[in-house]
Amino acid sequence: MKYYAPENAHFLLPFQFDPTLLENDLKKCSTFNFLKNYVPANYNGDDYILPLRSIDGRLDLPAAFPNSSEKFKNTTALEKCPYFKEVIDSFLCEKDAIRLMNLPSGRVINEHVDYNCGYEDGLFRVHIPIITNDQVRFTLNGIPLTMRPGEAWYTNVNLPHSVTNTGSTNRVHLVLDCIRNEWSDKLFASVGFDFTQEKEVAEQFTESTKKRMIEELELQGTPASKKLIIQLKQGTS
């Protein structure tokens, strides 16, 4: 598996988007149903995810499936949001899943890890806050991150992370899964990503992490995901 250097775990990217225009597009999405999280052990709550780009453009498919071979398409929700599309087009690369992620006031996303979501894996996940408050705590690998509306953050969510919202408002992020390319290598170099840390290490997953990965791969249901499930159950990589 890839080595995920702690110093490469997160970066504030050199973008600043308009919070008002982001909120305007968010309001346009109020006619669509946000979906329940598909891994209750991480967050057991409704009104959590609205797919903006998904496999076959489906609005009923909350799972992200990073680095999937499946065909991603924009959903009808994204087509109503011109500023979201402008923001997305600012990233000069291919994209997999794109969604709005909502954490209501008083709720917690339990600490967990994702799979195959680091820059080292050929993918980078970007969080763009739309609505947030001072009582939101996003913790990644033991480090709290303060994300402000309109900013763009890369986070390597292969590392342990959690979110709490003890404020009085919801927390809504626009989340993009982007595919690494030459443009993004230059972008990451500009913010200090240490490419010398990229290397392979022995694969070591806890049983809980394996269970989480298998759950997500079963949702995908592709030949590649079925092969990975067999490998995980056999303890191979």
Predicted confidence (pLDDT) per residue in 32-71, tens digit: 999 887 677 787 778 889 999 998 899 987 766 665 556 8
Q: What is the mean pLDDT of residues 170-189?
A: 98
Indicate whether 184 and 215 sit together in one domain: no
Which two three-digit tokens encode residue 224?
């590649």
Instruction: Calculate the average pLDDT of the chain.
Output: 88
Q: What is the mean pLDDT of residues 192-217?
A: 74
Q: What is the mean pLDDT of residues 81-109?
A: 96
The residue segments making up the domain with residue 224 are 203-237
How many domains does one find in the chain? 2
The reported pLDDT for the residue numbered 237 is 46
CA angle 199, 205, 208 (to 5 degrees): 150
Please give the span between the terminal C-alpha atoms of the chain, in angstroms, as a whole number.
Answer: 7
CA angle 25, 27, 32 (to 5 degrees): 100
106: left (phi over 0), alpha (psi -120 to 50) or beta: left
Indicate whether 165 and 234 sit together in one domain: no
Indicate whether 175 and 230 sit together in one domain: no
Indicate whether 195 and 216 sit together in one domain: no
Residue 12 within a domain:
yes
Name which of 81-85, 146-150, 231-235 the model is least confident about.
231-235
CA 163 to CA 140: how far, in whole Å? 9
> Would you say residue 183 has pLDDT above 80?
yes
pTM, two decimals, is 0.84
Using alpha carbons, select from 163, 237, 161, 169 the residue that is nearest to residue 202: 237
Residue 76 within a domain:
yes
Residue 13 within a domain:
yes
Rg (CA), the chain: 17
| CATH number of residue 93's parent domain | 2.60.120.330
Q: What is the mean pLDDT of residues 164-175?
A: 97
